[in-house]
Amino acid sequence: MNSRGYKKFIDKKTLIIGPLRAGKTRLLSSILFEFIEAGLEKDIIILDFSPDEIEGLGGPLSRYIDVSRMIYLAPDNVWPPRLMGKTEEEVDKLAEENRRVLEKLVDMAIKIDKQILFINDVTLYLHRGSLSRILRLFDSKRTVIATAYYGDEFDDKGSGINVREKVAVRALMIKADNVIRLGSVR
């Protein structure tokens, strides 16, 4: 991206989707860097829903870029429910725990008067969280750039997370002005 590449994202809702290890977080950090270089950090909120890096998967945005000059909202702990849960009940429990923690951050972000929003791994909230709440968050900001997992690599142990996630991401794709597909996304 060149130094003016950020302009194509201004006043738009952009969703970056892809399977595991497609480079979603890396691309998000690159776009964020462009916004910082343009001097826009005072207008930025970052919601970072990603768990710590596990088995070489993504991880928090703060591992890729300095987020200290922006409003950075991230939970102390979130869990990858499909990787950590051994049973349907464990997957559900972890996803519900994530929802409770992340929903507070979503509600905070809606109220913050900044107009540029970056979200790393919105799908972690959507496993059990409210799509309408995320859509309200998107509507509350002029510029939104978010990553979402969109693949078939996980066994949800019968919890229904895979279907719920696909439906939610498709709804966000419809809402988005730009959809950037990485990897082999169907």
Amino acid (one-letter) located at 135: L
Other beta carbons less than 10 A from residue 152's beta carbon? 10
Q: What pLDDT does 57 receive?
A: 65
What pLDDT band is residue 151 in, cutting at 50, 70 and 90? confident
Long-range (24+ apart) CB contacts under 8 A made by 160-163 are 161/81, 161/82, 161/91, 161/95, 161/127, 161/128, 162/82
d(CA 25, CA 59): 8
pLDDT digits (tens, 9 = 90+) for 152-170: 888 889 999 999 999 999 9
Q: Which CATH architecture has domain 10-181?
A: 3-Layer(aba) Sandwich (3.40)
The answer to whether 90 touches 18, Cβ cutoff 8 Å, is no
Q: Which residues contact 7 (CB under 8 A, 6 or more apart)?
A: none
